[in-house]
Structure 1
Amino acid sequence: MSLFRPFAPILAIAASTSLAWGHEFWIDPEDYTLAPGDTLTAAIRVGENFKGSSYAYIPDNFRRFDLAQGDDVAPVEGRIGDRPALSTTVDEDGLAIVVHVTRDYDLTYSSYDSFVNFVTHKDAEWVIDAHADAGQEGVAPKEIYSRHAKSLVAVGEGAGQDRAFGLVTEIVALENPYTGDTGDGIDVQVFYQSEPRGDAQVEIFDRDPDGEVTVSTVTTDAEGVATVPVTAGHSYLVDAVVLRRPGDDVAEETGAAWESLWASLTFAVPE
């Protein structure tokens, strides 16, 4: 059975695939700070500017959906169709980390310009030259993509530390936003194939208590580290996108010329 399927209705992020590339994917907890024994409820969202639709718990649409606290990592259990996708009791005091990896999806850009706009927005202009060098200048390509999302939630005091979970690409918070000194921002590290990803663009979506969102970007250093400026009482979505050529077998099976791998991390900074 092929692993690469067209958009399923349950996760179709836009009626027109020309819009699909501009949509982020993130885990959106109902509350980022809980007491032991509370229910951790979180939606899986797709949208723009930290606003989007909630999607259901559909095991066929993800490769991994875990909840980690300390050394314990367990699959998120749910019923098909549950919305929000995550609702579970958290009994242990400490930092809870939600990890979600989607299956592969594919899209065909509606125009060459939309492709150029996307790779330019993601600071990957080299892709335009590589596309032209392959004799495809002016051609709207087919792409496969997957999402690699994490979220940090404080239970009780929220003590603990984010870490890498072996995702093909992921963002790791090097400081705990619930217990650390956030006056100089939160350092994050971007990984790709378990190696720090230097000179990578990180997009920051900052949502204030009134729901207003501001967007900015920073670039990682040689060690894949960047500082996210933060404000108490705000919540954050940070993401970074890898663009690469798919493997020969994948390209042959899907007809895709490019692959994008999206990493995201959500957290809040207490008042």
Structure 2
Amino acid sequence: MKLFQLVLAGLLLKAPAVLGHEFWIDPQQFQIAPGDPLLADLRNGETFKGTSLAWFENRFTRFETVLGDTVQPVPGRAGDTPALQATAPETEGLLVILHETAPSRLTYKEWEKFLKFAKHKDFPNAAADHVAAGWPQEGFRESYTRHAKALVAVGSGAGADRAFGLATEFVALTNPYGAEFDGSMRVKVLYQGTPRADAQVEVFDRAPDGRVDVRLTRTDAAGEAAISVAPGHSYLLDAVVLRPSAEAGTAERAPVWETLWAALTFSVPD
């Protein structure tokens, strides 16, 4: 049975393009007491619904929890589901979960699917750049990586998020668990440590009854966005970078595009 579970988990992990677009860290509880179990799924899917992906060391380049100045690698065994199975620190504060995946690839068999993706994620020049580069419009490949964070309150949840050097990332400028939180979640979007001005942010808003609303917003000139949030709701923020692959033209099957997906999950206490 264990072997079957490992094989099944491996197959699921290799199929993110089929299962959906977004990738996020999904804590089973966003508010926990010091010393309580800390459990979180890695999910791949759409509209806040997705398959739980297992822990496999060769599938990520970084998987850590951070509280204050204490950084802990997330331990695991191949096939562990949920992927994060740990114990919360004995210290209260804002705990940040970090995860960066190893590169994966997908193939666009149809030009229209790439155009649909580019429109959805707001890359208006992608099609023209693709044609200008002389790349094929069928059977071309994309490399992609995921750069996810989640905010969990341990006890009071007091504290602040910060930049952790992910290739692209959200940085929470306000703490949704803080006593002074006013219902406006302010975030900054970074790419290679630099703020992304006028970047599209997709907001997935999950109500207590499971209903999910989706809306779009944009960052300002400083790379910041303010998002109105509601008590009792959970949120997934998504922002994508599209850039030409450094491997383009190096081999027949080399990817021509690369995408980097930033995600942030958190909840707002009742």
Once the two structures are superposed, the pairs formed by residues 134-173 of structure 1 within 5 Å of their partners are 134-136=133-135, 138-173=137-172
Please state if 1:115 is matched with 2:114.
yes
Once the two structures are superposed, the pairs formed by residues 127-206 of structure 1 within 5 Å of their partners are 127-136=126-135, 138-206=137-205
Q: Distance in 1 between matches of 2:180 and 2:258?
A: 37
Residue deviations 1:82-140 (CA, integer Å, cap 9, x gap): 10000111122111100000000011112100000001100011111101112347445
Over the aligned positions, Cα root-mean-square deviation in angstroms equals 1.6
Structure 2 counterpart of 1:3: none
Q: Percent identity?
A: 49
Equivalent pair of 2:135/2:256 in contact (CA under 8 Å): no
Distance 1:103-1:48 versus aligned 2 partners, 3 A rule = same
Equivalent pair of 2:108/2:138 in contact (CA under 8 Å): no
Equivalent pair of 1:13/1:47 in contact (CA under 8 Å): no
Structure 2 counterpart of 1:23: 21
Equivalent pair of 2:183/2:230 in contact (CA under 8 Å): no
Q: Greater CA deviation, 34-43 or 132-141?
A: 132-141
Q: Distance in 2 between matches of 1:230 and 1:181?
A: 14
Structure 2 counterpart of 1:228: 227
Matched residue type, 1:230: V
Alpha-carbon shift at residue 184 of structure 1 (Å):
4.5
Name the SS of the counterpart of 2:250 in structure 1. Answer: helix
Matched residue type, 2:40: A
Equivalent pair of 2:62/2:98 in contact (CA under 8 Å): yes
Name the SS of the counterpart of 1:223 in structure 2. Answer: coil
Q: Distance in 2 between matches of 1:180 and 1:247?
A: 46
Distance 1:55-1:137 versus aligned 2 partners, 3 A rule = closer
Residue deviations 1:153-212 (CA, integer Å, cap 9, x gap): 000000110111101100011000000544341000000000001110000000000010
Moved over 6 A (4+): none
Matched residue type, 1:112: W
Once the two structures are superposed, the pairs formed by residues 238-249 of structure 1 within 5 Å of their partners are 238-248=237-247
Distance 1:184-1:12 versus aligned 2 partners, 3 A rule = same
TM-score by length of 2: 0.92
Once the two structures are superposed, the pairs formed by residues 200-219 of structure 1 within 5 Å of their partners are 200-219=199-218
Alpha-carbon shift at residue 251 of structure 1 (Å):
5.3
Q: Distance in 2 between matches of 1:184 and 1:150?
A: 20
Match for residue 37 of structure 1 among 31, 35, 38: 35
Once the two structures are superposed, the pairs formed by residues 64-143 of structure 1 within 5 Å of their partners are 64-90=62-88, 91-136=90-135, 138-143=137-142
Q: Distance in 2 between matches of 1:110 and 1:187?
A: 38
Q: Distance in 1 between matches of 2:242 and 2:108?
A: 15
TM-score by length of 1: 0.91
Q: Greater CA deviation, 126-135 or 217-226?
A: 126-135
Name the SS of the counterpart of 1:79 in structure 2. Answer: coil
Structure 2 unaligned segments of length 5 or more: list them.
Answer: 1-9
Name the SS of the counterpart of 2:189 in structure 1. Answer: strand
Residue deviations 1:216-264 (CA, integer Å, cap 9, x gap): 010001111001110000000001000001114x652551110000000
